[in-house]
């Protein structure tokens, strides 16, 4: 086998190994969600709305798992996950707050917001 053919064979073998190994290394994204109850809050007040906002943020951090530590890529993934979860929770929260201010109430069993990544 010529040196050039040997080099090409080695390069192709390396590419094949990378292609096979890449899916095993790829991080899987598990979708999770939690319910945020608000039946105990008076959402017509600023204090009640602020408490619901705090619960949504806490739920978002819970859904996204613990802070990943020092890896910049992992930290960015975590921040993106938290921001996505908060954004979704805030959209639901805005609707709920508007309903509360308009005097509309839901059945107590439905007084929950779903926060997910």
pLDDT digits 0-9 by tens, 58-93: 999 999 988 788 889 999 999 999 999 999 999 999
Q: Provide, rounded to the nearest whole percent, the portion of the chain with pLDDT above 90.
A: 53
pLDDT at 8 over 60: no
- For residue 17, the surrounding DSSP H or E stretch is helix 3-25
CA 112/CA 110 separation, integer angstroms: 6
Phi and psi at residue 94, to the nearest 5°? -60, -45
DSSP E strand stretches across the chain = 33-37, 112-116
Contacts of residue 99, Cβ cutoff 8 Å, sequence gap at least 6 = 105, 106
Position 3 scores a pLDDT of 57
Domain ranges of the chain: 30-116
pLDDT at 27 over 80: no
pLDDT at 38 over 80: yes
CA 117/CA 112 separation, integer angstroms: 16
Position 29 scores a pLDDT of 62
């Amino acid at each position: 086998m010529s040196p050039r053919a040997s080099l090409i064979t080695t390069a192709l073998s390396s590419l094949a190994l990378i292609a096979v190994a890449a899916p095993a290394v790829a991080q899987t994204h598990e979708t999770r969600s939690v319910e945020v109850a608000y039946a105990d809050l008076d959402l017509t007040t600023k204090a009640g709305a602020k408490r619901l906002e705090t619960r949504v943020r806490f739920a978002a951090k819970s859904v996204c798992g613990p802070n990943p530590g020092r890896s910049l890529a992992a930290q960015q993934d975590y921040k993106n996950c938290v921001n996505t979860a908060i954004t979704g929770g805030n959209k639901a929260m805005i609707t709920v707050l508007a309903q509360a201010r308009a005097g509309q109430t839901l059945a107590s069993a439905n007084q929950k917001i779903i926060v997910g990544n």
